[in-house]
Amino acid sequence: MKKVLSILIAGIAILSFAFCPPALAGDAASGAKIFAANCNACHMGGNNVVNGAKTLKSDALEKYGMNSIEKITYQVNNGKNAMPAFKGRLTPQQIEDVATYVLDKSAKGWS
């Protein structure tokens, strides 16, 4: 009986972790404010006014390998092409909050 109970508890634990979305590291509410002040001009609604293919929408983030806190944080810190680097202009926590906000909004379809 103990063995069956142990297997059941282990199965529940494994399923709980398998179907839970990952916890996001930053504060999405703070990220929303920072995004509005620094990113909205080019990325309003998850779009991209410079390169329409590279939006902040879930499918584009996945396609271009930008669908993680680490990748978005790297991009915001260092910039690329027309996107300026925000390292030194925003704190590491602010950048992490923006990355969290972007992933949260992309998962919700920017609605």
The pLDDT of residue 12: 64
pLDDT above 70 coverage of the chain, percent: 80
> How many C-beta atoms lie closer than 10 Å to residue 43's C-beta?
19
Residue 100 and residue 44 in contact, taking contact as beta carbons nearer than 8 Å: no
Q: What is the pTM of this model?
A: 0.77
Q: What fold does the segment set 25-107 form as a domain?
A: Cytochrome Bc1 Complex; Chain D, domain 2 (1.10.760)
| β strands within 1-111, DSSP E | none
| 43 marked as binding residue | yes
Q: By C-alpha distance, which of 43, 39, 41, 59 is closest to 51?
A: 43
Residue 22 has pLDDT above 80, yes or no: no
pLDDT category, 7, cuts 50, 70, 90? confident
Closest CA to 99 of 35, 36, 21: 35
Residue 20 counted as an annotated binding residue:
no
> Which residue in the block uniquely carries the two structure tokens 């602010």?
94
